[in-house]
Copies of this chain bind each other. A is one copy, B any other.
Amino acid sequence: MLKLGVLASDRGSNLEAIIQNIESGRLSAEIRVVISDHPDAQALERARQYGIEAIYLPPGSHKTNLDPKAEEGYVTCLQEHQVELVILAGFMRILMNHFLISFQGRIMNIHPALLPSFSGLEAQKQALKYGAKYTGCTVHFVTDEIDGGPIITQAVVPVLPGDTVESLSERILKEEHRIYAEAIRLYSEGRLKVEGRQVIINDK
């Protein structure tokens, strides 16, 4: 069974979706630990409700990434829990070299847009402002290029007349829940092969 570590800063709705997929048997994996940079992240509480170890690890003084010492603590914690695949589920900090090297090719992130469109923060708001007629979400491997790693899977949603950031985000979130679990499942079955920027999905 694939051992997962989940990093989350906030609600952890993707965490919840992954747990649901595990509980229902659709995903053969085990969440060994959930770590947050916020002591009161709802994700921690959610994890504990399911009996999953949930830890707050202070991020240090940096705002957009983890302090080197803190990052080392994150890596150590994940390693001590024998984590094989790191899942970023709304983790709002950029991972630096030590982390990326320690889990090279074994970190996934989800972004609420069809990358390379609308990378960075507030992707749904960006899509609305741009006047896009379609947007979506992207699960990708994490590299040192922000929102730029090889794409595992994407899903498309329409932008509808009268959409607000909230209504659009909700529509995208449903697809996020679906494709994140799907991407982890493909990984757990050893079906993902990365060649440069291409992620090839092998048949069962």
Residues of A at the B interface (CB closer than 8 Å) are 114-118, 129-134, 136, 150-151, 153-154, 156, 161, 196-201
7 tightest A-B contacts by CB? A133-B154, A131-B197, A117-B117, A131-B198, A131-B151, A156-B156, A134-B154
CB contact between A150 and one of B131, B151, B161 (< 8 Å): that residue: B131
Chain B minimum-CB-distance residue to A152: B133
Q: Which residues does chain B contribute within 8 Å of A196, judged by CB atoms?
A: 131
Smallest Cβ distance from A187 to chain B, in angstroms? 15
**Chain B residues whose C-beta falls within 8 Å of the C-beta of A150 in the assembled complex:** 131
Check if B197 sits within 8 Å of A161, measured CB to CB: no
Shortest beta-carbon distance from A96 to chain B in Å = 24
A121 to chain B, nearest CB (A): 16
Residues of B within 8 A of A153 (CB): 133
Bound complex: CA A156 to CA B155 (Å) = 11
Given the complex of chains A and B, what is the CA–CA distance between A82 and B7 in angstroms? 61
Contacts of A200 in B (CB 8 A): 161
Nearest B residue to A155, CB-CB = B134
CB pair B161 A132 closer than 8 Å: no
**Interface contact B156-A134, CB-CB below 8 Å:** yes
Whole-angstrom distance between the Cβ of A8 and the nearest chain B Cβ: 25
Contact of A114 among B114, B151, B197, B198 (CB under 8 A): B114
Q: Could you say which residues of chain B place their CB within 8 Å of the CB of A199?
A: 131
CA distance A198 to B150 in the complex (A): 31
Chain B nearest CB, measured from A77 CB (Å): 31
List residues of chain B with CB within 8 A of the CB of A116: 117-118, 130, 132
Q: Is the CB of B130 within 8 A of A161?
A: no
B151 & A133 in contact (Cβ 8 Å cutoff): yes
The reply to whether A154 and B132 contact each other, CB–CB distance below 8 Å, is: yes
Give the most central of A115, A118, A156: most B CB within 10 Å: A156
